[in-house]
Amino acid sequence: MSITFKENEVKEVKFEKKTSEEIGLKLGKIKIKNAKFGEKSEILNRTLIINLEELRSLLLEDKNLKDVDVKIARPGESKRIIPIKDVIEPRVKVSGSGKIFPGFFEKSETVGIGNGITHVLEGVAVVTSGRIVNFQEGLIYMNGPGACYSPFSKTNNVVIVCTPVNGMDKHTHERTVRLAGLKAANYLGQLGKDIEPDENEFYEYLPFPKNNSSYSLIPRVVFVHMLLSQGLLHDTYVYGIDAKGILPTIISPTELMDGAIVSGNCAAPCHKHTTYHQLNNPIVEELYKRHKKDLYFVGVVLINERTDWSSIELASSYAVNLVKLMDAQGAIITEDGGGNPETILMALCKKLEKEGIKTVLVTDEYAGRDGASQGLADVTVEADAVVTNGNANQLVTLPPMDETIGELDTIDIITGGHNGSLKSDGSIEMEIAGIMGSTCELGYSNLTTRLR
Partner 1 sequence: MSKKKIRVVHYINQFFAQIGGEEKANILPLMKKGPVGPGLLLQKLFNGEAEIIATAICGDSYFAENIEEASKKLISLITPYKPDALIAGPAFSAGRYGMACGAICKAVKQKLNIPTLTAMHPENPGVESYRKYTYILPTTTSAKGFKEVAPILSSFCLKLCQSGEIGFPEEEGYIPQGFRVNVWANKRGAARAVEMLVHKIKGEEFKTELPMPKFDRVSPAPAIKDLSKAVIALVTTGGIVPKGNPDRLEAHNASKYLKYNIAKVTDLKSGEYETAHGGYDPVYANDDPDRILPLDAARELEKEGIIGKLFDYYYVTVGNTTAVASAERFGKSIGEELKKAGVNGVILTST
Site for partner 1 in 167-226 (CB under 8 A): 169-171, 219, 221
How many residues lie near partner 1 (CB under 8 A)? 84
Instruction: Among 391, 398, 411, 437, indicate the residue that binds partner 1 (CB under 8 A).
Output: 391
- Which listed residue (415, 422, 428, 435) binds partner 1 by CB under 8 A? 415
Going along 323-381, which residue ranges are E strands? Answer: 330-334, 358-365
Of residues 161 and 367, the one with the C-beta less far from partner 1: 367
Q: Is 332 in the site for partner 1 (CB under 8 A)?
A: yes
Per CB under 8 A, 355 contacts partner 1: no
The answer to the question of residue 233 lying near partner 1 (CB under 8 A) is yes
Query: 154: closest CA among 143, 169, 165?
Result: 143
Side-chain-side CA neighbours of 16 within 13 Å: the count stands at 0
Identify which of residues 156 and 265 has a Cβ nearer to partner 1 in the complex.
Answer: 265
Is residue 286 part of the contact set for partner 1 (CB under 8 A)? yes
Range 423-442, binding partner 1 (CB under 8 A):
431-433, 440, 442
Spatial distance between the Cα atoms of 353 and 185, rounded to a whole number of angstroms: 40
CB 278 within 8 A of CB 262: yes
DSSP E strands in 11-90: the ranges are: 24-31, 34-37, 42-44, 47-50, 65-73, 79-84, 86-88
Interhelix angle for 341-354 vs 309-325, to 10°?
A: 40
In the list 251, 261, 295, 428, the residue contacting partner 1 (rule: CB under 8 A) is 295
Told to check if 261 binds partner 1 by CB under 8 A, we report no
Check residue 381 for interaction with partner 1 (CB under 8 A): yes
Considering the rule CB under 8 A, would residue 55 count as an interface residue with partner 1?
no
Catalytic residues: 266
Per the CB < 8 A criterion, the answer to whether 206 and 19 are in contact is no
Report the candidate in 176, 363, 349 with the shortest Cα–Cα distance to residue 270.
363
Q: Is 407 helix (H, G, I), strand (E, B) or coil?
A: coil
What span, in angstroms and rounded, lies between the C-alpha atoms of 417 and 366?
A: 14
Which residue from 118, 128, 136, 156 is in contact with partner 1, where contact means CB under 8 A? Answer: 136
Indicate whether 277 belongs to the interface with partner 1 (CB under 8 A): no
Among residue numbers 67 through 106, which ones bind partner 1 (CB under 8 A)? Answer: none
Q: Considering the complex, what minimum distance in angstroms separates the CB of residue 147 from partner 1? A: 14
Residue 320 found at the interface with partner 1 (CB under 8 A): no
Residue closer to partner 1 by CB (options 79, 225) is 225
User: What is the CB neighbour count within 10 angstroms for residue 96?
Assistant: 18
Q: Does 118 contact partner 1 by CB under 8 A? A: no
129 phi, psi to nearest 5 deg: -140, -165
Residue 285 as a binder of partner 1 (CB under 8 A): the answer is yes
Q: Is residue 263 a contact residue for partner 1 (CB under 8 A)?
A: no
